[in-house]
Chain A
Amino acid sequence: MSEHLIEVRNLNKFYGKKKVLDEINVTIPKNKVTVLLGPSGSGKSTMIRTFNGLEPFNSGTITLFGETIAANNKKQWAIIQTRIGMVFQSYDLFPNMTVIKNILLGPLKVQKRSREEVIKKARDLLKEVGLEDYENAYPRELSGGQKQRVAIVRALILNPELMLFDEVTASLDPEMVRGILDILKNLANQNLTMVIVTHEMNFARQVADKVIFLENGKIIEQGDGQSFFENPTTKRAEAFLESMSF
C-alpha cells in the first residue's frame, strides 16, 4: 500500500450553485498528523466530512486504503466507514444510552466482536481518559469535555486506521480544551493517522506533520507542518498566521 492513506483527486462539491470545494487535490500521509487550517467557511469541515462519506461530493475521486470511491457510492462508503473514526464539534453521544452503551454499540453491533473483549477494552480506554467511574452515566450527566472524551473513546474502540477530528474543542471551555488536546497529542505519539480541523494554533504547530491551508474551498497551500508555520509560501497563509497569533 502507498504511504498515503487518502488520495483526493479533482474533488468538487457544490451547495446549490455555490462551489464549496474547488478542485481539491490532496494526500493524507499514513501514520502522520495532518491539520486542516483556514478561516471559518473555508471548507475545512466539508472536506474532512468527505473523507468518510458523510458529505457527498459532485465530482472527483477519493482513494482510501487503496480503494477508489466514486462520488456517492453509498455501499462502498458503508464498508470503508468501519475503518475510520470520527469525532465532531458538537457533543454527539447518543443521549438515550449510557456511556458504556454508547461505546459498545459499534464494536458489538457493527463489528460483531465478543462482548467480553470490548467491555475490557472500553474500560481500559475510559481509564486512559480519566472516566473509569462514568461508564453507567448518561451523557446529560457529563460536562462538555467529558462527553468529548467519551466520543473519542467511542471512535477509538473500533480500532480505526484513520481518525478524523472536526473542531473537537470548539464548543469547550478553555479549561477543558487542554485535556482533549492532551489526548490527541498522545494519539499522535502512537503514530495513528489523524486528520484534524482546528483553530488551536499552538496545538496545530506542535502536532502537525502536514498542514493543508484552505480558503473559499480552495487549497491555498499545503506542505509539512514546520515549514508552514515558520515559512508560509503564500501571502494569504502568512496573513492568516499573523491574525491568529495575537
Chain B
Amino acid sequence: MSWAYIQQAMPDYIKAFWLRLKLSTIGIAGAVLVGIVAAFIIYYKIPGHRIILSYIEIARNTPLLIQLFFIYYGLPITGIKIPAQQTAIIGLVFLGGAYMSDAFLGGLRAVPKIQIESGRAIGLSTFQLSRFVVFPQGFIFSLPALAANVIFLIKETSIFTVIAIPEITNTTLDLIGQNYRTNEYLLMMVSSYAVILIPLSVFLSWIERRIRYANFGN
C-alpha cells in the first residue's frame, strides 16, 4: 500500500465525489417529486393511473444499466441526443421515481380511514385533505422505505461509469488502468462511498425517529 498514490489521486477523487453528490442530489430530488405525483395519481385512482402503474413495473423490472444504455446509446438512433450527465439524471429519476412512488403509496395507504373521514366530516376538499392530513401522515409512514431508496439510489450511481461519467467507479477503473495500484484505488473507492453512505444512513434513521416521535409519539 502506497500513500503516495493515494495522495496523488485525491484531487481526482474529490472531483468525482462532488460530481456524484451533484448527480445524486438532482436525481433523487427528481425521483421524490415523480414519486409523490405518481403515488397520489394511483392513490386517488386519477384517470391515467394504469399508465403510471405500467411505468412503475417497467422501471422496477429493468436494470438501471439497461435504462442508461437505452437513453444514451438507443435514443440517438431516433435523433434524440442527450449528454451523459443529463442521461444519468434522467435514468436516476426514471428508476428512483418508481421506487419512491411505491414508498409514498405505502405511506398514503397506511393513513387510517378514520382520518380521511374526519377530514371529510369537517368539509375538507380532496386537495385540502391531501395537503393537511393524508400527505403529512403518509410521509411519516413512508420514511423508512424512503430512506432505504435514497441509499439504494446513491449506490446505483456507480453504474454511471458505463456512459463514461467520471464519477468514483469510473475514476477508480481509470486510475487502476493507468497505475496498476488496485489496493490503493479500491480503498479510495470504498472510502468515498462509506464517507457519504454511513453518515447519511445514521442521519436518516435519526430523522425518522425524530419525526415519527414528533408526530405520533411513538
Contacts and interface: CB of A to CB of B under 8 A. Distances in A.
Interface of A: 52-54, 78, 81-82, 84-86, 88, 90, 92-97, 105-106, 109-111, 138, 140-141, 151, 154-155, 158
A36 to B, nearest CB: 17
Contacts of B215: 95-96
A141 B213 CA distance: 12
Interface in B106-149: 114-115, 117-125, 128, 132-133, 136-137, 140
B3 interface: no
| Nearest 3 interchain pairs by C-beta | A140-B217, A106-B122, A82-B123
Nearest to A151: B118
Contacts, number: 68
Contact of B121 (A93, A109, A138, A155): A155
Contacts of A94: 115, 118-119, 132-133, 137
B113 to A, nearest CB: 10
Contacts of A86: 121
25 contacts: A54-B117, A54-B121, A81-B120, A81-B121, A81-B122, A82-B123, A84-B121, A86-B121, A90-B114, A92-B114, A93-B118, A94-B137, A95-B215, A95-B216, A95-B217, A96-B133, A97-B132, A105-B122, A105-B132, A109-B132, A110-B124, A110-B125, A111-B123, A155-B121, A158-B123
B136 to A, nearest CB: 5
A109 B140 CA distance: 23
Interface centre among A54, A94, A138 (most CB of B within 10 A): A94
Nearest to A84: B121
Nearest to B126: A78
B216 A92 contact: no
Given A106-B124, A140-B217, A141-B217, 13 more contacts: A54-B117, A81-B120, A81-B123, A82-B123, A88-B118, A90-B114, A92-B114, A94-B115, A94-B118, A94-B132, A96-B137, A106-B122, A109-B124
Contacts of B125: 78, 110
A34 to B, nearest CB: 18
Nearest to B119: A94
B128 A54 contact: no
B121 A85 contact: yes
Contact of B120 (A54, A154, A155): A54
